[in-house]
Amino acid sequence: MAGAVPTIFWFDRFDERIGILPVVGELIHTEELNGEDTLEFECREVPAKGDRLLWQDGSVWREHVVVRTDEPLEGLCSVYAESSLCELLDDFIEEQHLVSRTASQALAVVLAPTRWTVASCDVAGTAGCVLYHVNALWALRRVAEVWGGEVESVITVAGGRVASRSIRFKQQMGSWKGLRFTYGKNMAGCTRTVLEQDVYTALYGFGAGLPVTDEDGRYTGGYRKKLTFGEVNGGINWVGDEQARLMWGRWNADRTAKVHSFGQVTFSECDDPARLLALTRKALVEAVQPKVSYEIDVTALDDGNCGLGDEVAVIDSSRTPEWRLKARVVRRVRTFGDAVVCRVTIGTVQQSDYAVTSSLAADVAALQNDVAGIDGNLSVATSVQVVESTVTEAIDDLDELADLDF
């Protein structure tokens, strides 16, 4: 794969052009689905925190913001920059109750206090959530989680500078290109990681909390049950995969048959049984496969050209019985130098500290919805503040742990 280090156009935090920032040596671009998008390189000049770096990736323009520099007294400056989507951390949403909204409507609310717009959205259906005292980036990640889409930034350039910033919200990035990887055949430079999560062959699905009522339908307060989908699934509140049961299920007591291994998923904003059933079935597709990822050079694929989100057929002949999986390219790391060296991770990616804290914050939002009451009136939910404070402390503890060296 021939190539060279891309030209980095250098702007200050106010989008005024400074010039070209020459890279010394290699430039590393790392990207994940709905996650990390960073640049790392060394240079002789020292960009300021908040400066903007514009570069062309094939036919696509990308913009990153300098968030950290390491400046020794002698030698080169090391630069770490993140996607310009990170500026949404500085835009704030006080309180928004999104009820039965489309993904496009939800995105419009989230991006309203920002200078970003929606370029396109192909995610169908309606859903809802509460956004309460959060930054716009967190809210964007929350919308992606609740409505089930993937975010791609779109940078438009005109006259040598950024003309517009927008996002595409896709049902799924990438495509099936017939790529195949055989573990055990192309072993060079390959690392397999088997994650700790169990394989579940059946899932219970739970939705929004339901108010407890008396015989006359009056709300009684207190304990609130969660929505299930039994009424639209023949009275059964779980879904299972028979093929997965035969492969991954455990034996019953007398070893005459394999039984399901049960897990559960909760969609705290879902208030429709049919939609809850559909969401649980979608979650089951991932739950029935072993949580394994393969970090490989793209040359290990039958056809080395792959992009973020593309599907790959994986055959792991080192396992008995042989694993046959369909995984996705969830992480791509490209090193630009004399040539472009590309390594991809197919399967699943272990959550980074940011993703973990974001997930915890999402749990806070779900707790807010549950505690606040059926009308979503956060102003009277004193216990919400207690819950939010407790989980926030837990997030702070995680941040402190992330800074420790073990």
Q: Residue 155: pLDDT band by 50, 70, 90 thresholds?
A: very high
Q: What is the pLDDT of residues 123-150, one digit of tens each?
A: 998 888 999 999 999 999 999 999 989 9
Q: Please state which of the ranges 41-50, 236-245, 308-317, 367-376 shows the lowest mean pLDDT.
A: 367-376
Q: What is the pLDDT of residues 234-243, one digit of tens each?
A: 999 999 999 9
Q: Residue 348: pLDDT band by 50, 70, 90 thresholds?
A: low
pTM of the model: 0.71
Mean pLDDT of 37-48: 96
Q: Which domains does the chain have, with CATH numbers?
A: 9-87 (no CATH), 91-173 (3.55.50), 176-197+291-346 (no CATH), 202-287 (no CATH)
The dihedrals phi and psi of 144, each to the nearest 5 degrees, come to -60, -40
Q: What is the pLDDT of residues 358-372, one digit of tens each?
A: 445 545 555 555 554
Q: Residue 351: pLDDT band by 50, 70, 90 thresholds?
A: very low
Q: Which residues of 188-220 are buried (b: 16+ CB within 10 A; e: fewer)?
A: eebebeeeeeeebbbbbbbbbbeeeeeeeeeee
Report the C-alpha gap between 283 and 56 in whole angstroms.
Answer: 36
pLDDT for the residue numbered 30? 96
Q: What is the pLDDT of residues 193-218, one digit of tens each?
A: 876 567 899 999 999 887 666 777 66
Mean pLDDT of 67-90: 95
Q: Which residues contact 120 (CB under 8 A, 6 or more apart)?
A: 168, 169
Backbone Cα Rg of the chain = 24
Q: What is the pLDDT of residues 212-266, one digit of tens each?
A: 667 776 666 655 678 999 999 999 999 999 999 998 888 999 999 999 999 999 9
pLDDT for the residue numbered 382? 42
**pLDDT averaged over the chain?**
83
Q: Please state which of the ranges 68-82, 319-333, 335-349, 367-381 shows the lowest mean pLDDT.
A: 367-381
pLDDT for the residue numbered 378? 42
